[in-house]
A and B are shown apart, each in its own frame.
Chain A
Amino acid sequence: MTRPLLVGAVAYTPNVVPIWEGMRDYFADGPAEMDFVLFSNYGRQVEALLDGAIDIAWNTNLAWVRTVQRTGGACRALAMRDTDTVFRTVFVARAGSALGGLEKLRGKRLALGSKDSAQAAILPVYYLRRAGLGEDDVELVRINSDVGKHGDTGRSELDALRAVLEDRADAAAIGGNTWDAIGAGELMPGGFEAVWTSPPYSHCNFTALPALSDERARPWVEQLLAMDWDNPGHRRILELEGLRRWVPPQLDGYASLFEAVREQGIPARW
Chain B
Amino acid sequence: MVRILLDLVERVGAVAAGASVTVPLGDADPGIVADWCARTGNELLGVSGGVATVRRGRRPEPPEHLLPGTRVWLYTNFDCNLACDYCCVRSSPRTPRRALGADRVARLAREAAGAGAGELLLTGGEPFLLPDIADLAASCTAVLPTTLLTNAMLLRGRRLEALRRMDRDRLALQVSLDSATPDQHDRHRGAGSWQRAVTGIRTALAEGFRVRVAATLPAGHDGALAPFHAFLDELGIAREDQLVRTLARRGVAEAGVELTVDSLIPEITVTADGVYWHPVAADHDDQLVTTELFPLADAIARVRQRFAEYRARADEAAQWFPCA
**A residues neighboring B (CB under 8 Å):** 13-15, 17-18, 153-155, 158, 161-162, 165, 178, 181-183, 187-188, 190-192, 239-240
Contact A155 to B1, CB < 8 A, known contacts A15-B16, A187-B39? no
Which chain B residue lies CB-closest to A153? B13
8 pairs across A/B with beta carbons < 8 Å? A14-B15, A14-B19, A162-B3, A178-B9, A181-B13, A182-B2, A183-B39, A187-B39
- On whether the beta carbons of B17 and A188 are closer than 8 Å, the reply is no
A191–B16 touching, CB < 8 Å? no
Q: Which chain B residues numbered 32 to 48 have a C-beta less than 8 Å away from chain A?
A: 32, 35-36, 39-41
The answer to whether B2 touches A192 (Cβ under 8 A) is yes
Residue in B closest to A12 when the chains form the complex, CB atoms: B13
B16 touches A14 (CB 8 A): yes
> What chain B residues lie within 8 Å of A191 (beta carbons)?
1-2, 5
Number of A-B contacts (CB under 8 A): 55
Listed residue (B10, B14, B32, B35) with the most chain A CB atoms within 10 angstroms of its CB: B10
Residue of A nearest to B61 (CB): A232
Q: How far is the CB of A258 from chain B (nearest CB, A)?
A: 29
- B residues 86-138 touching A (CB-CB < 8 Å): none
B6 at the interface (CB under 8 A from A): yes
What's the least CB distance linking B283 to chain A, in Å? 38
Q: Which of B6, B14, B16 has the most CB of A within 10 A?
A: B6
Residue with the highest number of chain A CB atoms closer than 10 Å, among B2, B13, B17, B40: B2
Write the nearest CB–CB distance from A244 to chain B, whole angstroms: 14
Residues of chain A within 8 A of B3, CB atoms compared: 162, 165
Cβ–Cβ contact B10 & A155, under 8 A: yes
The answer to whether A154 and B32 have CB atoms under 8 Å apart is no
Pairwise interchain contact A181-B17, C-beta atoms closer than 8 A: no
Give CA–CA (A182, B3) in the complex, Å.
10
Q: Which residues of A contact B13 (CB under 8 A)?
A: 13, 153-154, 181
Contact yes or no, A182 B17, CB < 8 A:
no
- A15, A182, A187: most-surrounded residue (chain B CB, <10 A): A187
- Whether the pair B9, A158 counts as a contact (CB closer than 8 A) is yes
Additional 12 contacts, C-beta under 8 A, given A18-B17, A187-B32, A191-B2? A14-B14, A14-B16, A18-B16, A153-B13, A155-B10, A162-B6, A165-B2, A181-B13, A182-B9, A187-B5, A188-B32, A239-B41
**What's the Cα separation between A207 and B36 when bound, in Å?**
35
Q: Give Cα A154 to B14, complex, Å.
A: 10
A240 cross-chain contacts in B, Cβ below 8 A:
17
